[in-house]
Amino acid sequence: MDLSNENIIHVKKNGYEYLQFKKLLEYPELWHAFVIKPLNFRGNKAEKTIAEDYERFCELESLNYKYVVRALQEHTDVVKTVEEKKNPNGPEILMEYLNDVDGLITDKNDFILATTSADCIALLIYDPVKKVVANVHSGWKGTFKKISLKAIEKMKADYNSNPEDIIVCICPSIRECHFEVKTDVESECRRIFEYTNKLDEIIKYKGIENDEEKFYIDTVLITKLLLEEAGIKAENIIDSGICTLCKKELLHTRRGDGEKFGLNAAFIKVK
């Protein structure tokens, strides 16, 4: 199966696979990838084995894995700039300064910014004028906290980025077709995003199951609306258009694979 489409190229080589955005490939100074099955970046946090997954992939891609930076991803709205290496002997993974962080930004070309996901949205962001990259993990909680908007605001504040220059790519994630929620999440979504006047598009009623009302929520649409609110041009918001659950044969998905789910990984760096 090939996931290539008008926005995505599906790369297969040496027994591993990843996706790349055609738009980002227009910039030779930039490297990025959204790595899918069979590689799995979940590792074992308790046994400190997570770095092994990154080392293996970086070796395959001739990258220095010691410069991988991965936030702990606690479904926050916290975005951190990465300016200097904290761990001289290895990658910046499982480090205390990355606790409660879900987004990373840098203009340093040594660092490889990484996020992982198994249904959540990963955003690969590039300002080609300032040569600033960002990698943001946005699950539904982070989406409701507007982490995508806050990442753009931080790029403006810390690097003087102009939102009109910024490109944002939305990696594969669970989509409206499968992101089913109960009334508590639906009500919270309605409360937060009523101001958009797009609730009829964001929320769709599914019906009643086991005496509970169920809804579908379009977190990708919410993200696009937040990015436009932040000043990103609509034509610079590039969506992979791929649902992790619809393509679970190739993509890791928590809802599709259950408790033994694996993790996809998104990477971006300036060369």
Judged against a pLDDT cut of 70, whether residue 75 lies above it is answered with yes
Query: Which pLDDT belongs to residue 265?
Result: 97
pLDDT band at 49 (very low <50, low <70, confident <90, very high): low
Q: What is the mean pLDDT of residues 107-126?
A: 97
Cα distances from 110 to residues 92, 131, 226, in angstroms, run 12, 13, 30
Q: What is the mean pLDDT of residues 136-154?
A: 98
Judged against a pLDDT cut of 80, whether residue 45 lies above it is answered with no
Residue 221 Rama label (left phi>0; alpha psi -120 to 50; beta): alpha
User: Are β-strands 8-13 and 180-182 bridged in parallel, bridged antiparallel, or unpaired?
Assistant: unpaired
Judged against a pLDDT cut of 70, whether residue 63 lies above it is answered with yes
Q: How far apart, in whole angstroms, are the C-alpha atoms of residue 236 and residue 57?
A: 29
Query: Which pLDDT belongs to residue 233?
Result: 98
Q: Mean pLDDT of all residues in the chain? A: 95
Per the CB < 8 A criterion, the answer to whether 185 and 144 are in contact is no
Query: Which pLDDT belongs to residue 202?
Result: 98
CB-CB neighbours of 50 under 10 Å: 20
User: According to the CATH classification, is domain 8-175+233-270 in 3.40.30.10?
Assistant: no
More confident residue, 243 or 54: 243
Judged against a pLDDT cut of 90, whether residue 51 lies above it is answered with no
pLDDT, tens digit, 9 for 90 and up, residues 149-205: 999 999 999 999 999 999 999 999 999 999 999 999 999 999 999 999 999 999 999
Judged against a pLDDT cut of 60, whether residue 64 lies above it is answered with yes
Judged against a pLDDT cut of 70, whether residue 44 lies above it is answered with no
pLDDT band at 48 (very low <50, low <70, confident <90, very high): low
Query: Which pLDDT belongs to residue 22?
Result: 98
Q: How far apart, in whole angstroms, are the C-alpha atoms of residue 221 and residue 57?
A: 31
CA nearest neighbour of 67 among 102, 38, 104, 42: 104
Query: Which pLDDT belongs to residue 14?
Result: 86
- pTM listed for this prediction: 0.96
CB-CB neighbours of 166 under 10 Å: 26
Please give the biggest Cα pair distance in the chain.
Answer: 55
Q: What is the mean pLDDT of residues 106-135?
A: 97
Q: Which helix (H) or strand (E) element contains residue 57?
A: helix 50-60
Q: What is the mean pLDDT of residues 203-219?
A: 95
Cα distances from 202 to residues 9, 142, 224, 242, in angstroms, run 28, 16, 11, 17
Query: Which pLDDT belongs to residue 25?
Result: 98
Q: What is the mean pLDDT of residues 102-116?
A: 97
**What are the helix (H) ranges across 119-266?**
140-144, 147-159, 183-193, 199-202, 219-229, 254-257
Query: Which pLDDT belongs to residue 252?
Result: 97
Query: Which pLDDT belongs to residue 164?
Result: 98
